[in-house]
Amino acid sequence: MNQLLMKMEGLCKYFFRDSGLLGREKKVIRAVDTVDLEINYGETLALAGESGSGKTTLGKTMIRIYKPTKGKLWFDGDEISSIDGNRLRHYRRYMQMVFQDPTSALNPRKTVLDIISLPLRIYQDLSRAERRERVKELLEMVELPADFLYRYPHALSGGQKQRVGIARALALNPKLIVLDEPTSALDVSVQAKILALLDRLREQFQLTYIYISHDLSVVKNISDRTVVMYLGQIMETALTDDLFKSPLHPYTRALLSAIPIISAEEQELIPEEITLVGEIPSPLDVPPGCNFISRCQEKMDICDEEEPPLAKVGNDHYIRCHRACPQ
């Protein structure tokens, strides 16, 4: 049942910035820092964290939009961390992405037909009529009427644009779709519809989702497993139900306690209030020791000196914190 689709070992993505006189020094931004992660077929994995925590960079590195700086990455049993060109193209069709801002993700000069058929033109040898049929089919899957074929993105609402983005991601029958905050630009009434659509498509095509979000209420409702990230590192990961029931990392608890909720029943499900002091530090100068140290209210002496390892604390539950792991 739990068949492995993707595996990451010590995956890193660093960006370099020139600094110093004539750019002779290089500053390192560790956007993704030593991530170990396994993704199973058919699961929905959520990446959660504040802005600047590296969730989008991890998502993009996973599907090789970025080339990893260090570490290894396997997709469906094959190592894809350093391949290029045509060999990479072979894998790209199985890994698709839906972007955060539906307006800037669609070319305003192209019709919906052009937009959705572009991947088909690149990867499949179909006649024009066959392509149009396929696009019609795809529009039906995302519950858009067929007369949208010749419309331009500006004539669509936010929700409809996001549906077009989803149809484009589905065009090549992918195995994995990275959804980068697909509903953060939408109203809640539309968000609920899009999430229901994504859920139906996942069952229909046995898709695997990587769902990137800062909205933990959404994460709770759609994901099987959750990864909480902070400054490029995994801070805690567990099955979603376990994570929300017994969050262990101080950062996870702080995130949960900050969710704006709407009922008393929900209030009982979140940990007692923790207000984080300060803000996420610049990735240019990550503190020594634990990454979270500058905002942690439960820190100990050891946290200043040593970076905690990602330790197993239960069934599928891992946490990076000195408080939780046995010394």
Partner 1 sequence: MGVGNTILSIQGLKVHFDTIDGTSRVLDDVELSVREAEVVGLVGETGCGKSVTAKTILGSLPMPPGKILEGKILFLKDNLLELSREERHQVMSRKMSYIPQDPMTSLNPVFTVGEQMGDMIRWQGRRRIGPLEFLRLRRRRDNSIAKAVELLDRVDIPASKEIIRRYPVELSGGMRQRVLIAMALIGYPSLLIADEPTTALDVTIQKGILELIEEKVKEEQLSVLYITHNLGVARRLCHRIYVMYAGTIAETAKTKDLLDNPRHPYTSNLISSIPKLTGDEFRGIDGRIPDYIDPPAGCRFHPRCPRVMEICKQERPELAKVGEDRLLACHLFSTGGGS
Q: Are 290 and 277 in contact (CB under 8 A)?
A: no
> Which residues inside 13-72 make contact with partner 1, applying CB under 8 A?
50-51
Residue 211, interface with partner 1 (CB under 8 A)?
no
Looking at the chain, list the stretches that DSSP marks H as alpha helix, in order from N- to C-terminal side: 55-62, 85-92, 102-105, 112-123, 128-141, 158-170, 188-205, 216-222, 240-245, 250-257, 264-267, 301-305
Residue 228, interface with partner 1 (CB under 8 A)?
no
Instruction: Tally the residues of the chain.
Output: 327
Closest to partner 1 by CB, 75 vs 292, is 292
Closest to partner 1 by CB, 273 vs 301, is 273
Closest to partner 1 by CB, 86 vs 189, is 189
User: Which of the 8 DSSP states describes residue 205?
Assistant: H
Q: Could you tell me which of 112, 119, 117 has the C-alpha nearest to residue 128? A: 117
Residue 196, interface with partner 1 (CB under 8 A)?
yes
Residue span 135-164 as binding mask against partner 1, x where in contact by CB under 8 A, dash where not: ----------------------xxx-----
Closest to partner 1 by CB, 258 vs 311, is 258
Q: To 10 degrees, the CA torsion angle through 134, 135, 137, 142?
A: 150
**Residue 80: φ, ψ to 5°:** -125, 15
Residue 190, interface with partner 1 (CB under 8 A)?
yes
Residue 202, interface with partner 1 (CB under 8 A)?
no
Please identify which residue in 220, 225, 249, 320 interacts with partner 1, judged by CB under 8 A. 220
Closest to partner 1 by CB, 129 vs 277, is 277
Instruction: Give the burial class of 248: count Cβ atoms within 10 A of its Cβ; 0-12 exposed, 13-18 middle, 19 or more buried.
Output: buried
> Roughly how many angstroms between the first and final C-alpha of the chain, as a whole number?
35
- Closest CB 20 distance from partner 1, rounded Å: 20
Q: Are 237 and 212 in contact (CB under 8 A)?
A: no
> Which residues inside 272-291 make contact with partner 1, applying CB under 8 A?
275-276, 279-280
The residues near 16 (Cβ < 8 Å, ≥ 6 apart) are 26, 27, 28, 29
Query: Which region, judged by CB under 8 A, interacts with partner 1, from 22-30, 32-40, 128-136, 191-199?
Result: 191-199
Tally the C-alpha atoms within 13 A of residue 228's C-alpha that lie toward its C-beta: 29
Query: Which region, judged by CB under 8 A, interacts with partner 1, from 13-21, 67-75, 124-132, 213-221?
Result: 213-221
Number of residues that bind partner 1 (CB under 8 A): 41
Closest to partner 1 by CB, 2 vs 275, is 275
Closest to partner 1 by CB, 61 vs 240, is 240
Please identify which residue in 207, 255, 303, 319 interacts with partner 1, judged by CB under 8 A. 255
- Which residues are near partner 1 by CB under 8 A? 50-51, 157-159, 187-193, 195-196, 214-218, 220-222, 244, 254-255, 257-266, 269-270, 275-276, 279-280
